[in-house]
């Protein structure tokens, strides 16, 4: 079974600064997807960014980018120019590409990000 | 578009009571999911429906039943609620069942079982 570990329960960053959230995962599969989800106080889960394991290039979405290290099974999220609206719980998640098991997202325990004005 | 809607937003049950959580999506998605989120943890899959007419167990299905009423609606039933089912429940939907399809989440239902 796959596991996802987020070792930083809480992080804080000054507005306009850069912060990196860490995520490691364990799997025996070679083909999968990795995700970062954001959960603001409204509780709505919002997809931030997605990485396909077979793509070597790191995914980017505006101020959000990832550092995907497949051999190390590491998938960190970098938020540049942090804004007050970035304050939220961030979850790292894994999903296999294999059929049969492809429906299940496995989530980490989350990192609570505070943005300081 | 409303996206994924869930009712109710909050619910308090006594042990042994039953209830049904409702979920509807207006995006014409084929696949729908029910997750639970416990304090300090990520979401865990309870049941999913890859397409209308099919349902399958996820990671934590015990104590729950589901019904895919039609393409839009996917309900979760607790037949005899237990305090261990106190949690926040999320419904999600996606265009297809594979991992390349983004899952869209509802706002959640906070359930307390006393």
Predicted local distance difference test score (pLDDT) of residue B30: 95
The stretch A18-45 carries a mean pLDDT of 93
User: Alpha carbon of B94 to those of A98, B28, B49, B52: distances in Å?
Assistant: 17, 9, 10, 12
Q: B64-110, pLDDT tens digit by residue?
A: 999 998 999 999 999 999 999 999 999 999 998 888 888 999 999 99
Pick from A46, A96, A110: CB nearest B99: A96
Is pLDDT at A101 greater than 60 in this prediction?
Answer: no
- In chain A, the residue whose alpha carbon lies closest to the alpha carbon of B5 is A44
Phi–psi pair at B41, nearest 5 degrees: -130, 160
Q: What is the mean pLDDT of residues B56-71?
A: 94
Nearest to A105 among B41, B45, B107 (CB): B45
**pLDDT at res. A43:** 86
pLDDT at A44 (0 to 100): 86
Asked if residue A1 has pLDDT above 90, the reply is: no
Contacts of A100 (CB under 8 A, 6+ apart): none
Does the structure show a pLDDT above 90 at B38? yes
What confidence category does residue A103 fall into, taking pLDDT thresholds of 50, 70 and 90? low
Q: How many helices, marked H, and strands, marked E, lie in chain A?
A: 0, 12
What is d(CA B38, CA B87) in angstroms, rounded to the nearest whole number?
Answer: 5
Which pLDDT belongs to residue A42? 86
Query: Which of B41, B59, B90 has the CB atom closest to A104's CB atom?
Result: B59
Name the average pLDDT for chain A.
Answer: 92
In sequence order, the 6+-apart residues with CB closer than 8 A to the CB of B92 are A45, B4, B32, B33, B34, B35, B103, B104, B105, B106
Tokens of A97: 């590409």
Torsion of CA B26, B8, A103, B44, to 10 degrees: 160
Find the length of chain B.
Answer: 114
CA distance A47 to A32: 16
Cα dihedral sign for B26, B32, B34, B40? negative
The model's confidence at residue B13, banded by pLDDT at 50, 70 and 90, is: very high
Q: With contact defined as beta carbons under 8 Å apart, do A40 and A46 qualify?
A: yes
Pairing outcome for strands B31-37 and B87-94:
antiparallel
Q: Work out the average pLDDT over A67-92.
A: 97
Cα B110 to Cα A40, A72, B9: the distances in Å are 15, 37, 6
Interface of A with B (CB under 8 A): 4, 9, 32-33, 42-47, 50, 91, 93, 95-97, 102-110
A98-111: average pLDDT: 78
Question: For residue B58, is pLDDT > 60?
Answer: yes
Average pLDDT of the segment spanning A112-117: 96
Cβ-defined contact of B102 to A107 (cutoff 8 Å): no
More confident residue, A97 or B91: B91
pLDDT of residue A18: 98
């Amino acid at each position: 079974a796959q596991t996802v570990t987020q070792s930083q329960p809480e992080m804080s960053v000054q507005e306009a600064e850069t912060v990196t959230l860490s995520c490691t995962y364990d799997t025996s599969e070679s083909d999968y997807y990795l995700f970062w989800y954001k959960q603001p106080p409204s509780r709505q889960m919002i997809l931030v960014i997605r990485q396909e394991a077979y793509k070597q290039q790191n995914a980017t979405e505006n101020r959000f980018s990832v550092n995907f290290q497949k051999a190390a099974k590491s998938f960190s999220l970098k938020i540049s120019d942090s804004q007050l609206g970035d304050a939220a719980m961030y979850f790292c998640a894994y999903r296999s590409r294999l059929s049969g098991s492809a429906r299940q997202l496995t989530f980490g325990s989350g990192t609570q990000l505070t943005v300081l004005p | 578009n409303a996206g994924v809607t869930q009712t109710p937003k909050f619910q308090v049950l006594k042990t042994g009571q039953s209830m049904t959580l409702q979920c509807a999506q207006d995006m014409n998605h084929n696949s729908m999911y029910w997750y639970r989120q416990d304090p300090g943890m990520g979401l865990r899959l309870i049941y999913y429906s890859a397409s209308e007419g099919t349902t399958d167990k996820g990671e934590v299905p015990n104590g729950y039943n589901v019904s895919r009423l039609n393409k839009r609606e996917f309900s979760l039933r607790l037949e005899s609620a237990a305090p261990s089912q106190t949690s926040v429940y999320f419904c999600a939907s996606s265009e297809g069942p594979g991992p390349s399809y983004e899952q869209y989440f509802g706002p959640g239902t906070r359930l307390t079982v006393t």
